[in-house]
Amino acid sequence: MAYFDHAATTRLSERVRKAMDRHLRDVYGNPSSLHTPGIDARKTMNTVKNRLAEHFGVTRQNIVFTSSGTEANNLAIKGTYFRHPNEQIITTTIEHHATENSVRFIERVGGKTTYVGVDRDGFIDLEALKHALKTQTSLVSIIYANNEIGTIQPLKKIIPIIKAHGALLHFDMVQVPLHQAIDFSELEADFVSLSAHKFYGPRGSGCLIARDPALLEPLIHGGQQEFHRRAGTENVAAMVGFLEAYEAARENTKAHTEHVDNLSHYFIEQLNVKNFDYRLNGPDLDHSRLNAVLNIGFKGQDAQHLAFQLNRQGIYVSLGSACDSDNIELSHVLRAIDVPKAYIKGSMRISLSDENTREDIDHLLNTLEMLFNE
């Protein structure tokens, strides 16, 4: 089999699984309990949080653990909105659904929102951002590294614009940790969302790093967990998994990046050698992008049909489009970057990791060649 859907999720690594197993076996107390098993669980949790906080350049009070990246985005966006219901929220036209639909919710309940467009490679329109900020704004929420086309936004240009205005800034960095460290202390953002299953950690384990969590209205009410920002008995094993996966990602960043860079160049080279009629949706390789996330449009093809046929051969890609049997809704991201009509329907996402090999890519391209000639 050849798995090319690492932007959707990654395998739980053995190292992470073992760390979580150890925890699940040995520590069963509720971190809120005052007896010894509870205190043990609380100690583990605080150790995990302190270590992660050190990696991020914050203190543990700045980390709110959540059930997912989706929940982290919801907390940043709705948590800010509920504090400032009369101010607008700005986002972009190429966000993950977790952001897009949080912002749509705010519209439905009467809030003000603005979607800033992007250019043909997915880079935010800075003039449109400046213009949007003329209206009273509580939060700007931006996907730092795009999950469909890989575009990495130019922080050095974006941050001064937003700071000059005084709005809060949220970056969805869910796709980032396999590729680079998260140094919140350097970032000048107010909120950052992360999710462990994108870097060989467990699903259901995300967090929001917050410069000042007290600025957020909690979305889940109950006990005092997560410094009153997110109630519910803590999933300490999920936190252990998050930390272990994050540390493994840091130890492996250089090797991972080199491997993925090599593979992505090989992939594009082979598309050319084999004379595929294609376009790379998003920036060119090595140009402010994740080389791991390659969105390829094959001219005149039907990507849904191709993905189905590839799946039958044990090759797993993704479409980035929501579809039911009769109705394909083309990806809002591909529409936002104006992918030409001849290519948009034939677009698929190939997302790589260090678990992929050149043989996987040969297998994919040979199978595609065969399907195109059928």
Ligand X SMILES: Cc1ncc(COP(=O)(O)O)c(C=O)c1O
Q: Are 331 and 281 in contact (CB under 8 A)?
A: no
What is the rounded CA–CA span in Å between residue 232 and residue 115?
33
The yes or no reply on residue 102 touching ligand X (CB under 6 A) is no
> Which residue among the candidates 24, 255, 323, 370 is catalytic per the annotation?
323
In this structure, the chain runs to a length of 374
For residue 141, give the nearest of 207, 78, 229 by alpha carbon: 78
The yes or no reply on residue 6 touching ligand X (CB under 6 A) is no
What is the rounded CA–CA span in Å between residue 353 and residue 290?
11
Q: Are 96 and 147 in contact (CB under 8 A)?
A: yes
Which of 98, 296 has the CB closer to ligand X? 98
Active site residue 323: yes
Among 195, 318, 347, 356, binds ligand X (CB under 6 A): 195
User: Binding pattern to ligand X, positions 105-144, x when CB under 6 A?
Assistant: --------------------------------------x-
CB of 313 to ligand X, least distance (A): 25
The yes or no reply on residue 70 touching ligand X (CB under 6 A) is yes
Which of 70, 301 has the CB closer to ligand X? 70
Sequence-ordered strand ranges (E) for the chain: 2-3, 63-66, 88-92, 113-116, 137-143, 168-172, 191-195, 206-210, 278-281, 293-298, 315-316, 322-323, 328-329, 347-351
Segment interacting with ligand X, rule: CB under 6 A, options 16-24, 63-71, 116-124, 312-320: 63-71
CB of 314 to ligand X, least distance (A): 23
Half-sphere exposure (Cβ direction) of 181: Cα atoms closer than 13 Å: 16
What is the rounded CA–CA span in Å between residue 126 and residue 276?
35
CB of 276 to ligand X, least distance (A): 26
Q: Which residues bind ligand X (CB under 6 A)?
A: 68-70, 73, 96, 98, 143, 147, 172, 174-175, 195, 206
Q: Which residues are catalytic?
A: 323
